[in-house]
Structure 1
């Protein structure tokens, strides 16, 4: 049988004046009171969820200018509320040799060390102690102690905090606003897309009905090809009717007659009779004045004229 054990994660205490660390793996971090603001308050509410919207206003007159994150947890009948600058803390950790990738979880001294019975020295000049339930950092002149703070065996609570690396650029309210605008845009685009699909479906249905009604081909390529064929026929028929109209409007001399008109393979042929050689010239002039495109020859007392359609 094999057993699976969790890897042990060391815990370190970080203060503004802490010495640099040399780390080769991830660690849990307990932040000194010098790195956050804390208040112990009693409020006429029962749950942490009800307090969270009030946190910024509860600190409104106490904080220097900066970009803060806020946290709260409840202990007995009191609420402990916190304000801290994410980027400032991350910068200090970086200066102390703690990379972002080496941070496992981050805790506040208030939630992890509030049960310390005696003052604990964290440097030559400062000690950590608990006053009225608040973990504070004081000069050694207020409470001297020879006992060093050791957090290696501290049993960590569930009250960890999350440091936001980009809190100085975009705050949560802005993110929520951007997210709402984004989802509204998605909704509008989706609605427009479905409306377009519906219109396209209706258009396809109407087109199919129209194609069936008029016996059109199933594709636009075929229909365009058919259209070009009809346009060619229309052009030929129009030209033919024009030539016929020109022929029938000719003012022929006495005994000059049209014997035959034939149309085959896009060619209109006309035979004039009763003309002696040379007498066809006046008919030629009339046809040319009508801008007719023709060729002609005189043979066996018949004048043959051909029109190319």
Structure 2
């Protein structure tokens, strides 16, 4: 049966099918203490008091192993942290035979083991850990794991396989989605390229500006022209909405940069005054009003809204 070694950022060995898992010191806390009791189960009663500081952010469980007459190895571990790591690797409960600690399995390590180009498994005063250390040692951890005989000192960790299946399906769905998005991206880029070519052809054909700055300037210019024309149209519609009696006429409409002028001719003074009153109802501001006999001249501002 194959054995894998899990560090914080790496997995040593292949985990296809059923395997044994050895956890590096990243997944547990270790202490060795002399306790005046005979059995591990008795020593376990004081385990929580040994890891008070470390347990503040963890929900610890404990593995206690007798290593001398009154000497015990205490290992504190957080199951949720281990489960989270195994799930992230896509390892299900069915794939796990046993879970071991490096501290126990390599307790008698005397010579460093090569993990990768920058990491080495070593013993520091009896504490088994992976350290950043270049090594020319030819003893590779990956090779040792192939023939390593493991102890019976293990822990049980139950992974929610339903959650694992959801995770696995999510990965598959994510893969399919990635392919779809990639296809869409490629198609979009092709279409974008075609659009840019067409845009360039139109620009050359109609002598259009080549930069957005020039284009925005032209748009603003014609927007002002359109706004002015809309304002003029609105004034004319409101003025013409006031009906003239038979015999009364608009004799002239003049437009300047600032105003639009209407000249009316009425058959008598009474009609002129009545029409002035009716024009007030259109709520257009009058810049200037001039009356000469039966002739009325009214000027409306183009650049100002009605008040």
Structure having the higher Rg: 1
